[in-house]
Amino acid sequence: MAKRRVFITGATGFAGRHLIALLPPSENIVYGTSYPQPPHPDERNIFSLDLRSEREVFEAVRLAAPQWAFHLAAVSNVGYSWANKKETLETNVVGTFHLFEALKKFAPEARILFVSSSDIYGFSPGAGTAGSTAFSEADPFHLASPYALSKYEGELMAGFYSRFEGLDIVIVRPFPHTGPGQSAEFVCSDWARQVIRIERGSQDPVIRVGNLDIRRDFTDVSDTVRAYMLLLQKGRKGEVYNVCRGRGVALREILDILLSFSSRTVRVEKDPERQRKVDIPSLVGDNRKVRAETGWEPQVPLQKTLAELVDYWRVRP
């Protein structure tokens, strides 16, 4: 039986590596992209390319000729997007355009998953429809960052190519996810790394923080990429699906859990420099649609996710 050909943008990124782990080599030939860091020498079929280069994207898709395509690559840090608006929009919007055009030309029958973001919900009175505390896929958008704007435009493009260009695209809106391998540019991983640095004596026993009262809906990265797989197989063309645990937790609670894994006493201090330009008070999702249509359920408890994240940093320099 011929192996399935799979193409993953952002294959060497945080979620990309976890997604590859779900694709057994006995059944799949995985191609992917890596940027800005080049792939490791032992990572085969990974193209070092910038999505802003139409020529490079077209050549990679032509060589991969995928049956499945996961579009994960993006400028995804909200703070970075404020300081680098042009790069964010060019990568996340123009790069997505290049990918869809390449798939239309070289793999028009491919099944495609476009990864958007829960950040597009932004601010909303009551945080959801009819005063609900959770956002459903039908809720309006209140874009609050260049990153959210770029993902909104990507969704519009995915809908256009699905309706008018014949591409078989499913859209996913993941809420925050974390776990081993996440960059310290993101809050859970940043704090976990600092906990370990304090344990080793390489940092003063102080963690400086921004707003600890905001609430986020965190899912383990392994649960998130498992949802991606199920949606590629079972999601409906042109439809949008939240992927989330369905429960909000204050960042203060996240930090308390991480500190509980350390034997050191750590002081927590507010740092105005760590305040975001715009902070969304609560970002919690309604996951009923993805559960009903794919059978997906989040399986990894948050405490276990955070413990594994601390262990990840424990074995790193």
Check which CATH number belongs to the domain holding 108 and give it: 3.40.50.720
| Number of domains, the chain | 2
Say if residue 207 is in the same domain as residue 148.
Answer: no
pLDDT at 185: 94
- 168 and 294 part of one domain: yes
**Are residue 121 and residue 238 in the same domain, yes or no?**
yes
Query: For the segment 162-218, what is each residue's pLDDT rounded down to a tens digit?
Result: 999 999 999 999 999 999 999 999 999 999 999 999 999 999 999 999 999 999 999
- Whether residues 205 and 254 share a domain: the answer is yes
CB burial string 24-47: b at 16+ within 10 A, e below: eeeebbbbbbbbeeebeeeeebbb
Record the pTM.
0.95
Whether residue 292 sits in one domain with residue 144: yes
Instruction: Flag residues of the chain having pLDDT under 50.
Output: 128-131
Domain identity same for 238 and 258: no
> Same structural domain for residues 157 and 14?
yes
Provide the CATH number for the domain around residue 310: 3.90.25.10
Residues 6+ apart with CB under 8 A from 93: 150, 153, 154, 157
Tokens of 238: 């042109």
How many C-beta neighbours within 10 Å does residue 264 have? 11
Assess whether 160 and 276 both reside in one domain. no
Domain identity same for 254 and 146: no
Within this chain, do residues 148 and 195 fall inside the same structural domain, yes or no? no
Q: Which domain holds residue 203?
A: 187-214+249-282+305-314
Count the residues in the chain.
317
Same domain for 291 and 256, yes or no, is no
Residues 262 and 127 in one domain: no
What is the per-residue pLDDT for 124? 65
Report the pLDDT value the prediction gives residue 131, as an integer from 0 to 100.
42
